[in-house]
Amino acid sequence: MGQSNMEGRGAIDARDRAADPRVFVFTASNHWTSLSSRLHDSEPRAGAGPGLAFGKLMAAQNTNVCIGLVPCAAGASELKRWEQGGDLYSNAVSRARAAMRDGVLSGILWHQGEQDSMYETNALT
């Protein structure tokens, strides 16, 4: 399928489609909704990724809390866009702050691909 990132590119099977009533996703329009199979509905190629499995596992480990996931992935993005001052960094901080109106930020999942390794000049900067 090509790239694999936090947006998810994995095939979605029946187990992935089973919603957990305590796992929610913060949508692109900054609203909470129940999470079933995809974190990134705005990405047409999106499928199952690590965020979905993580959210369900965290909910299973602590049955006294709800888990909210705030997806900010941008496939094929360069690391410099995620540095302080970069557009993707600013978006992620803004979304996290908006989501924290309803809860507590307890952790960050980070998975960076190899976009910067495609060209030596990018890898060296």
Residue 66 domain boundaries: 14-124
Q: Does any domain span residue 100?
A: yes
CA distance 67 to 61: 11
Specify the number of domains making up the chain: 1
Q: What is the pLDDT of residues 72-92, one digit of tens each?
A: 888 778 888 999 999 999 999
Q: What is the mean pLDDT of residues 25-30?
A: 90
Residue 24 lies in a domain: yes
Instruction: For tokens 């996703």, name the residue.
Output: 25
CA-to-CA separations, 122 to 5, 22, 25, 114, 118, in angstroms, rounded = 19, 41, 33, 10, 8
Cα separation of 102 and 111, whole Å? 25
Helix (H) or strand (E) holding 123: helix 120-124
Note whether residue 108 is domain-resident: yes
Give domain status of residue 5, yes or no.
no
pTM assigned to the model: 0.78
β-strand partners of 23: 67
- For residue 112, what is the domain's CATH number? 3.40.50.1110
